[in-house]
Amino acid sequence: MFMASRIQTRAFSASARNLSKVTVLGAAGGIGQPLSLLLKLNPRVSELALYDIRGAPGVAADVSHVNTKSTVKGYEASPAGLASALKGAEIVLIPAGVPRKPGMTRDDLFNTNASIVRDLAKACAESCPEANILVISNPVNSTVPICAEIFKARGVYNPKRLFGVTTLDVVRASRFVSELKDTNPVDEKITVVGGHSGVTIVPLFSQSSHPELSSNADLVKRVQFGGDEVVQAKDGAGSATLSMAMAGARMAESLLRASQGEKGVVEPTFVDSPLYKDQGIDFFSSKVELGPNGVEQILPVGKIDAVEEKLLEACFSDLKKNIEKGKAFVAANP
Ligand code: NAD
Ligand code: LMR
């Protein structure tokens, strides 16, 4: 009798721990739709909440017919709909905002996306202050600091729970190297550090199994400007959506694995980081070990070669400006 109830209690607490509500803000967009589909296919997600300023109920109705166990709900575009979508979320992914067209930089998106992300961050601070917030909307180098400032102003900032999604840079680096070397991309683990735009993206090939690639300037440039390839190929119809959905789903899956007890889960991601704070860089992407509380440990950049030292220097000056721009925006437009 005693044993049976203990087993029952254990079974209950294990399944309670594994109940994970995941919310997508911008769910009807180019990234939002395939991302929602991939999350529906993830058995670690028990409840999927989809929100957008238009079209979320339709996407939810569609995705909800996929025969996996999770429930799916699309929320009406209103403050109340947004609050309900966020209530109880363990993870919130934010791909809301406009994408680039050819000739634009990510920073050119700032004027539109800064206020979208600011307002969504306010809603998160209000309705799910303890959730892991995964920011996809560009310019990530500025939108993550915007979220941090909004959370700070409301007294609910937890730096361990705020992530800029830079997974796509790592995904690209691994794929591009495998094309060059005719290898399986699964085996190509390339660390990418810095930020998420142009020269702030710094691949560290010296730490990979092909250290000589750090002097392959074309490859370095391809990783730094991989997003432009897609923007140009789409010719005005947007930027990466499908590969980004895969990258965002991978980052969410890694967080869920870590929160559900797996040890040693490491992803590179743009976080509030001590690594270069002495140089005025408050946020930096590097390998981060994830845990039940979000960030478990920020790993050091480690040994890099002379070429990479130079790349990192170039990264710092742009990154610092991008971060400051995000903070200044919230100071002027709280
Ligand atoms: P999209 O225009 O196809 O979709 C954006 C969606 O956001 C739309 O459905 C729109 O209705 C919605 N939206 C706008 N304002 C909103 C609000 N206030 N609340 C909720 N939803 C809102 O764009 P996309 O191709 O999906 O790209 C979205 C963003 O992701 C862009 O800023 C893009 O630059 C960025 N992006 C980032 C990465 C990365 O690696 N971090 C990769 C690709 C794209
Ligand atoms: C990417 O890297 O593909 C995204 O940041 C979208 C873009 O604007 O390039």
> Crossing angle of helices 242-259/32-40, nearest 10°?
40
| Mutation pick for ligand 2 pocket among 94, 112, 172, 231 (CB with most ligand atoms within 8 Å) | 231
Beta carbons within 8 Å of 66's beta carbon, 6+ residues apart: 37, 40, 41
Residue 195 Cβ inside 6 Å of ligand 1? The answer reads no
Res 259: pLDDT: 96
- What per-residue string of b and e applies to 241-275 under the rule 16 or more CB within 10 Å gives b? bebbbbbbbbbbbbbbebbeeeeebbbbbbbbbeb
* Per-position pLDDT tens, the chain of length 334: 344 444 444 443 444 457 899 999 999 999 999 999 999 999 999 999 999 999 999 999 999 999 999 999 999 999 999 999 999 999 999 999 999 999 999 999 999 999 999 999 999 999 999 999 999 999 999 999 999 999 999 999 999 999 999 999 999 999 999 999 999 999 999 999 999 999 999 999 999 999 999 999 999 999 999 999 999 999 999 999 999 999 999 999 999 999 999 999 999 999 999 999 999 999 999 999 999 999 999 999 999 999 999 999 999 999 999 999 999 999 999 9
Ligand 1 contact via 303 beta carbon (within 6 Å)? no
Can you give the pTM of this predicted structure?
0.95
Distance 227 CA to ligand 2 centre (A): 4
Nearest CA to ligand 1 atom 43: 240
Contacts (Cβ under 8 Å, ≥6 apart) of 229:
222
Could you give the residue numbers annotated as active site? 196
- Look at ligand 1, atom 44, and give the residue with the nearest C-alpha: 240
Burial of 308 (0-12, 13-18, 19+ CB in 10 A): buried
Phi, psi for residue 98 in degrees, rounded to 5: -90, 150
Question: Nearest residue CA, atom 9 of ligand 2?
Answer: 227
Q: Is 100 helix (H, G, I), strand (E, B) or coil?
A: coil
Instruction: Output the CA 36–ligand 1 centroid distance in Å.
Output: 13
Partners of 194 in the beta sheet?
201, 285
Of all atoms in ligand 2, which is nearest to the CA of residue 240?
3
**Residue pair 304/312 in contact by the 8 Å Cβ criterion:** yes
The HSE-up count of residue 106 (CA atoms within 13 Å, CB side) is: 25
- Other beta carbons within 10 angstroms of residue 7's beta carbon come to 10
Other beta carbons within 10 angstroms of residue 175's beta carbon come to 16
- Please state the residue numbers annotated as binding site for substrate: 100, 106, 138, 172
Pairing assessment for the beta strands 265-272 and 283-291 based on DSSP bridges: antiparallel
For residue 221 the two structure tokens come to 């440039």
| Residues 286, 275: Cα–Cα separation, whole Å | 9
- DSSP code for 165: -
DSSP secondary structure letters along 264-332: -EEEEEEEE-STTGGGT--EEEEEEEEETTEEEEEPP-----HHHHHHHHHHHHHHHHHHHHHHHHHHH
Q: Which residues contact 265 (CB under 8 A, 6 or more apart)?
A: 254, 255, 257, 258, 289, 290, 291
Ligand 2 atom closest to residue 100's alpha carbon, by position in its atom list: 8
* Atom of ligand 2 minimally distant from the CA of 109: 8
Among 140, 244, 267, 270, say which to mutate for ligand 1: greatest number of ligand atoms within 8 Å of CB.
Answer: 244
**Ligand 2 centre from 196 Cα, in Å?**
8
The number of the ligand nearest the C-alpha atom of 228 reads 2
**Which is the closest atom of ligand 2 to the Cα of 99?**
8
Predicted local confidence at residue 18, as pLDDT: 72
ipTM over 0.95: yes
